[in-house]
Structure formats: structure tokens, C-alpha cells
Structure 1
């Protein structure tokens, strides 16, 4: 029964491909989260409010508009957020991804991101660690 051998070979090959791509998806998510964080930092450094807001999660955009009482594009630039303005590409100190959540660490800032249907979005920025407590973030959703 040669067709059974071919079928088993096809299943074995298919299983190997699933395992190989499963390992790659973590790295792909890590890269995509880092790219979104870099987009945020570049836009912030350029004072491009529209580009900053484009990378924010919907709840964060709403919170910016509510607290600033203006459009996100204007309000986000009034926030006193730290920035990796100098060569943010070289400034990434670490990226952690767990499922649909990510943390990207820069020397002066830590960003938290979540994966949405439209890609990775910043759910918190201007975050600093606190011993034995959650991070304190200047910008986050309500």
C-alpha cells in the first residue's frame, strides 16, 4: 500500500511545517510589536500627533480626547511623554511578547502593546516600573 506511505510522509511533513511556523510566529509577533513601538516613538519625536494616534489603541485615543478635551492628534502632543527621540531603532532594550500582549523597553520609556485585528497598538506609554507594584503609566486607556 504505497499510498499509505505517501499519506504518512505528507502528514509528517505537514506536522513539521506547523511546528516550524509555530516557532516563527513568536518572532513575527515580537518584530511586529517592536515595529509598532518604533512607529510610536518616531511619531512622538517628530511631534506628529496624527501618526502617534494611529498607533494608539482605541481606548487610549478616547482617553486622550476625554482628558485633553480636544482631538487625539492635538491632545497627545500635550502629554509629557518621554521619548526615544535619538535613534529609537538603536534604543530598543528589550521586547517581551506573551500571546497578544507585548512590552517594549526603551531607555527612557516602556510601552505596552496589544494585538488588534488591525495590528499592534499601544495600550500604555510613559510607563516606569515600581518595585513590588505594577508599572505607572502616563498614557493609558480608561
Structure 2
């Protein structure tokens, strides 16, 4: 063995393996958090869709504060406004394509519409619903949305 290789200190396997294990644990910890949040987002979206079709007043309880203010801003109660939109507008046809969480915001997409949610102290609340894309790089057109 050449003399210069014998003089270099070797990093023990324990340090290298420990660093690799720490990185792996931190990465899987982040991945696991997303799946827990996705489930909570799915539940919140499902509660809104279900309540909108059967009990519009309960659907109002799942709206974010700004969204609630916006939908009830025309001297109309929230429950009446949701009922006036009709179940067809707020349906979620087909299987859920995906729920994705981005920090305190989330998006749930079905075949024909999209819903946006945000995490508050009380849990996940709907910020916009009945949304359809208007085209690339354009904002969604939503039946219910906050300001």
C-alpha cells in the first residue's frame, strides 16, 4: 500500500453509516407526514361534499372564514347560498384523482372539478370549491371561493 494512503485517517464505518441512517430517517419522516395530512384533507373534502348535498348549513361549518364571508356577503345566509348553487355544481364525480398537501394548503382533484383547502387551528377548511380549470396559466373558475 502506498505510504500516503496509510497516513490518511479513515472515517469509521459507524460515522458514515450513522449519517446515512439519519438522512434516511429524516426523509421518511417527511414522507409519512404527507400521507397523514392527505387523509385529513380527504376527510375534510368529503365532509363538505356530503354536507353540501344534504345539509347545506353543515357545509358552511367546513368553509374557511374568508370563504364563509364571501359566500354570505350578498345579504344571503351561507346555507341558502350553497343550496342555491345546487348539488350538481358541487358534486365530485368519479374517483378522487389525488389530494396533495403543500404546507398549510391543499388541493383535491376529481375528474371534473377541484377543491382547495387550508389548514387552520380547527383543522382543514375549504377555501374554494366547485372549481374548474380555465386554461394553462389561468386561475380556476370556482363556484365558491374566498376573497
TM-score by length of 1: 0.76
Does the residue aligned with 1:82 lie in a helix, a strand or coil? Answer: coil
CA deviation map 1:96-124 (0-9, x unaligned): 21111111112332100011111101000
Summarize deviations over 1:72-92 as a string: whole Å, max 9, x none: 1222211242313xxx7x731
Counterpart in 1 of 2:15?
none
CA RMSD of superposed structures (Å): 2.4
User: What are the residue-to-residue correspondences of 1:89-128 with 2, within 5 Å?
Assistant: 91-128=95-132
Whichever structure has more helix as a proportion of its residues is 1
Q: Which has the higher contact order (CA 8 A, sep 6+)?
A: 1
Q: Distance in 2 between matches of 1:130 and 1:70?
A: 28
Moved more, 17-26 or 102-111: 17-26
Q: Which runs of 5+ in 1 are unaligned?
A: 1-10
Partners of 2:49 and 2:90 within 8 A in 1: no
The structure with the largest alpha-carbon Rg is 2
Instruction: Pick the structure with more strand per residue.
Output: 1
Pairs aligned (count):
127
